[in-house]
Structure 1
Amino acid sequence: MKNIRYKHILPIALLSSALLATSCEKFVELGAPPTQVLLDDAFSTDASARSVILGLYVSTVNTNISGTTTFYSGIAADDLQYNAADASLLEFANNGLLNTNSYVNNLWANLYQLVKNTNNSIVGLERSATLTPAVKDQLIGEAKFMRAYAYLYLVNLYGDVPLHLKSDLEIFDEASLGRTAVDAVYSQITADLLDAESKLAAAYEGTFRARVNKHAASALLARVYLYRGDYANAEIYASKVLQESMYSLPAATSNFTNTSTEIIFQLANLSGITVFATNYITLPTVIPAYSLPNAVYDSFETTPTVDLRKTTWVSPKTVSNKAYYAITKYKATAGTGNEYHVVLRLAEQYLIRAEARANRNNLSGAKADIDAVRSRAGLSALPANLTQAQLLSAIETERLHEFFGEYAHRWLDLKRTNRATAVLSPVKANWQATDVLFPIPNAQIVVNGNLTQNPGYND
């Protein structure tokens, strides 16, 4: 895909999922903004409105938000090792990002593309007077979830970011917005998710848990509250999900298949092949572009039993007399597979609640939640007399072992707990405390003079 430069607000029509399923380049090079008639037509019937919302999921897959948020943040942290020679990707690995880095710009642009799509959808849905009320609520809930999801990554990767909430019909009102404070962005994320939770049904639409439901909104809210240090609400919302009988922790060998009972929400595709498998798994003689660092591989428990995540989710290989640790959470790399991109899964809810409980001095409750995840990994329970500090350290380790190579969990965990410098400075030669944020893309500052740069990236 070309490195296409975007403005913050791009002209984009609200279209059916069939059109949204075209290539990323075609998707962002559509013509003029929609007229009032086009916007109203898109949400005049239940069928057409559903088609637009399905397009949100398709466009999210097509712009590879799953892969880019994972790979760039993983090599910036310490849970992915980059083994190729792309100079722009090496900037992430070496924590030497330039504000002209094309991948930083494209990640920003693709996340804001999702924001634009959801804004158009929300405005059109809320204005429609012809939709079935239950359908209207469901679709608004889905769109608001997706907008919250996009902003959650934007605010964590870039810090203060422009908060766009209007449709393309009001494009000039927001074309040159400055940066909105993190707290205000989080307030919008929370408001969107609370409204989504209130509107979404508990039952999944369609098959494979590939559209968000009420519990997906609760799960993402639990993460948001944890990130904000609101441990009471983090525990409440994680518990909402954990009490649902439709979710469970299956064996580590099958929890990423698209029928897994652990999945809360996944992004589907036609092939059943993920960007994770195709980037992590290569032929025996081919070096994977991304692999698990030696230090992470060596950190798994091996006595009295071996962590099943080490034996099931990692596959050692030797190429040219050098050892690499291929990540094999997802297995299918060719043909027709049975794996989608798992965005939210149950193990996270256990560890969110564990961390929330530990911070609220419910140490036995925290231990029980950690042990639930450890049990699936074939490990024994933690000792009963651990202190709060020891439990929080154990949770950090469990999150590393559970979520390596997934959706920037490690990068965001180190940032939100103020542990990034302590953990990464010994292993990153160029580490500076300001590296916890990516630069605001210079291309965006050029077209919007109201944007300012993050500290450390003004050169």
Structure 2
Amino acid sequence: MLYFNSHKKVMLSLLLAGSVFSSCKKLVEIGPPTTQVGLDQAFASDATATSAVLGVYNASATRDLLFPLSEMPGLSANELQNNVSSPSFDEFKTNSITVTNSVVAVNLWAYSYTTLAQANAMMEGINRSKGLSPAVRNQLLGETKVWRAFINSYLVNMFGDVPLPVKDDPLSNATLARTPAAQVWSQIITDLAEAQSLLTDAYPSTLRTRVNRQVANALLARVYLYQKEWAKAETAANAVINSGIYTLNKDLNTTFSNTSNEVIWQLATLTGISTYTTNRDANGGSYAAAPGTIPAVTLTDTLYNSLEPADRRKTSWVAATDIGGQNYKIITKYKLRVLATGTTTGNEFNVMLRLAEQYLIRAEARAQLGNLAGAVADVDSIRSKAGLPQLDNSITQPALLLAIEKERKAELFGEWGHRWFDLKRTPAVAGGGKTRADEVIGGMRPATWTSTDALYPIPDAQRVANPALTQNPGYNR
């Protein structure tokens, strides 16, 4: 059964206002489907349909996913540490997550399915509408397919087999069994390929805050990488890199500004301050805090110490700060915590995708395909902006793949769970059917780590409500 907040029913009047959800925290079952008359009214014109689809971007459930999708996998990977003791959070940092974990149940599962429900409702409205111009119809349908693919890619990465709702039918969706992960990945690829054909390179908004064709390409490159389809990953990353739209940002201090040409996609905020820094104290759940106050989440010493001494990211994106006699590695990719005196808006949003990842995707794909020189060139593009020397051109393939893993760790820390997903998907150096997660996390946390911890548990409340849901291995205890 899929759950969301009691005021989070899909109501067209609120969708048209660009917001669907309230802050009420009481969980109830999804109500009946939106009436067909309501959908027809919402999608009667280009303007009203666009406003409805923007509700997916602006909904609180969508935005409530942002920080947890970076924080929770980051805790699992020993990339991040939480500095406020919480049973639900502590379970992630020891890889001992229980089936009743509230963060898994609400933030990772319920909010994901709420956003999927919205995307499916929007597709239904777009497909039924007789009043949309072809260009707007294609744009909006492409956007919602990208959103669905994005959310599904996180669900399948976190949980493995998951329910796969593809229709606007909440009552039937509430009793879906888990779809095998391979089929979920196939649906993700289908959605992104269809989005490619529907979208153009032109952004329909300022500051790249809505989806264009290159967003679909960038996500497709990531998906193909995760699926070990190296040639397709290289082709998709090539499309983004060679589009002529984006460039790597040489100034690390402005990489995450909302005018950075490295940004492929970002979600706007009303204040111009990122969700990652908005909450201002240890209880707020962010990377930032008032001076002298410990942020809720910081970088671990393990990851910080793994950065090369001359790496500019170590000083531009991290502030090693003594607070109360202890040193904390505060993540400073986003620079704004509050607005400057005399200003009414900042210049940072929430970066969803950026060009640096595409270079690293292409590097790994090239290395796997035997194009070591091309892979080295891509890695060096990232190392150069970090002030680091180039890789040795005589590097072997195994050493190069480890160098790429290390570069991804240094470049993408604190962003979207990359480190966790990289460790889970990469075979162990020692082989034996293990993964890098077994080697790295198992080595750090031998008392609590088991290979089955690579997948999170299906929330127990969901299984009670929907008996068709099975549990992941290792959690039937």
With the length of structure 1 as denominator, give the TM-score of the two structures.
0.94
Q: How many residues are treated as equivalent by the alignment? A: 449
1:425 aligns with 2:442: yes
Corresponding residue number in structure 2 for 1:202: 201
Corresponding residue number in structure 1 for 2:365: 356
What secondary structure is seen at the aligned counterpart in 2 of 1:452? coil
Q: Give every structure 1 segment of 4 or more consecutive aligned residues whose post-TM-superposition deviation is greater than 6 Å.
A: 26-31
Corresponding residue number in structure 1 for 2:283: none
CA contact (8 A) 1:101 1:441 kept: yes
Provide the rounded CA distance (Å) in 2 between the counterparts of 1:147 and 1:33: 18
Percent pairwise identity: 47
Provide the rounded CA distance (Å) in 1 between the counterparts of 2:450 and 2:16: 43
Change (3 A) 1:61 1:5: closer
Q: CA deviation at 1:27?
A: 11
**1:260-289 C-alpha deviation (Å, 9 max, x unpaired):** 000000111101112222411223322221
Deviates more, 1:391-400 or 1:29-38: 29-38
Provide the rounded CA distance (Å) in 1 between the counterparts of 2:337 and 2:390: 35
CA contact (8 A) 2:22 2:60 kept: no
Provide the rounded CA distance (Å) in 2 between the counterparts of 1:57 and 1:124: 17
Change (3 A) 1:134 1:33: same
Corresponding residue number in structure 1 for 2:348: 339
1:447 aligns with 2:465: yes
Corresponding residue number in structure 1 for 2:315: 311
Corresponding residue number in structure 1 for 2:10: 12
Deviates more, 1:285-294 or 1:258-267: 285-294
Corresponding residue number in structure 1 for 2:430: none
Provide the rounded CA distance (Å) in 2 between the counterparts of 1:57 and 1:342: 13
CA contact (8 A) 1:63 1:110 kept: no
Provide the rounded CA distance (Å) in 2 between the counterparts of 1:282 and 1:123: 42
- Written as runs of structure 1 = structure 2, the 5 A alignment for 1:156-167 is 156-167=157-168
Corresponding residue number in structure 2 for 1:58: 58
Corresponding residue number in structure 2 for 1:132: 133
Q: CA deviation at 1:32?
A: 4.9
CA contact (8 A) 1:235 1:357 kept: yes
CA contact (8 A) 1:351 1:370 kept: yes
Q: CA deviation at 1:33?
A: 3.2
Provide the rounded CA distance (Å) in 2 between the counterparts of 1:139 and 1:88: 37
**1:165-195 C-alpha deviation (Å, 9 max, x unpaired):** 111xx33333311000011001100000011
Corresponding residue number in structure 1 for 2:244: 245
Corresponding residue number in structure 2 for 1:81: 81
Corresponding residue number in structure 2 for 1:35: 35
What secondary structure is seen at the aligned counterpart in 2 of 1:183? helix
- Written as runs of structure 1 = structure 2, the 5 A alignment for 1:46-445 is 46-59=46-59, 63-106=63-106, 107-167=108-168, 170-250=169-249, 251-278=251-278, 279-302=286-309, 306-335=310-339, 336-417=345-426, 418-428=435-445, 429-445=447-463
CA contact (8 A) 2:153 2:185 kept: yes
Change (3 A) 1:284 1:6: closer
Provide the rounded CA distance (Å) in 1 between the counterparts of 2:117 and 2:88: 27
CA contact (8 A) 1:24 1:63 kept: no
Matched letter for residue 131 of structure 1: L
Matched letter for residue 42 of structure 1: A
Provide the rounded CA distance (Å) in 2 between the counterparts of 1:52 and 1:24: 20
Instruction: Give ranges in structure 1 of 5+ residues lacking alignment.
Output: none
Deviates more, 1:256-265 or 1:69-78: 69-78
Deviates more, 1:73-82 or 1:55-64: 55-64
Matched letter for residue 189 of structure 2: T
Provide the rounded CA distance (Å) in 2 between the counterparts of 1:245 and 1:74: 32
Q: CA deviation at 1:61?
A: 6.7
Matched letter for residue 156 of structure 1: N
Provide the rounded CA distance (Å) in 1 between the counterparts of 2:61 and 2:3: 20
What secondary structure is seen at the aligned counterpart in 2 of 1:253? helix
CA contact (8 A) 1:12 1:28 kept: no
Deviates more, 1:366-375 or 1:271-280: 271-280
Provide the rounded CA distance (Å) in 2 between the counterparts of 1:193 and 1:32: 29
Provide the rounded CA distance (Å) in 1 between the counterparts of 2:27 and 2:45: 26
What secondary structure is seen at the aligned counterpart in 2 of 1:20? coil
Cα RMSD, aligned residues only: 1.9
**1:354-380 C-alpha deviation (Å, 9 max, x unpaired):** 000000000000000000000111111
Matched letter for residue 246 of structure 2: Y
Change (3 A) 1:27 1:149: farther
Provide the rounded CA distance (Å) in 1 between the counterparts of 2:216 and 2:60: 17
Change (3 A) 1:27 1:446: closer
Matched letter for residue 436 of structure 1: A
Provide the rounded CA distance (Å) in 1 between the counterparts of 2:464 and 2:26: 23
Provide the rounded CA distance (Å) in 1 between the counterparts of 2:230 and 2:87: 40
Provide the rounded CA distance (Å) in 1 between the counterparts of 2:172 and 2:217: 32
Q: CA deviation at 1:125?
A: 0.5
Q: CA deviation at 1:6?
A: 4.5
Q: CA deviation at 1:34?
A: 1.6
Deviates more, 1:392-401 or 1:11-20: 11-20
Change (3 A) 1:315 1:17: farther
Provide the rounded CA distance (Å) in 2 between the counterparts of 1:193 and 1:80: 30
What secondary structure is seen at the aligned counterpart in 2 of 1:66? helix
Deviates more, 1:343-352 or 1:315-324: 315-324
Q: CA deviation at 1:53?
A: 0.9
CA contact (8 A) 2:4 2:114 kept: no
Matched letter for residue 447 of structure 1: A
CA contact (8 A) 2:364 2:401 kept: yes
CA contact (8 A) 2:18 2:54 kept: no
CA contact (8 A) 2:18 2:52 kept: no
Instruction: Give ranges in structure 2 of 5+ residues lacking alignment.
Output: 279-285, 340-344, 427-434
Change (3 A) 1:115 1:61: closer
Provide the rounded CA distance (Å) in 1 between the counterparts of 2:374 and 2:31: 55
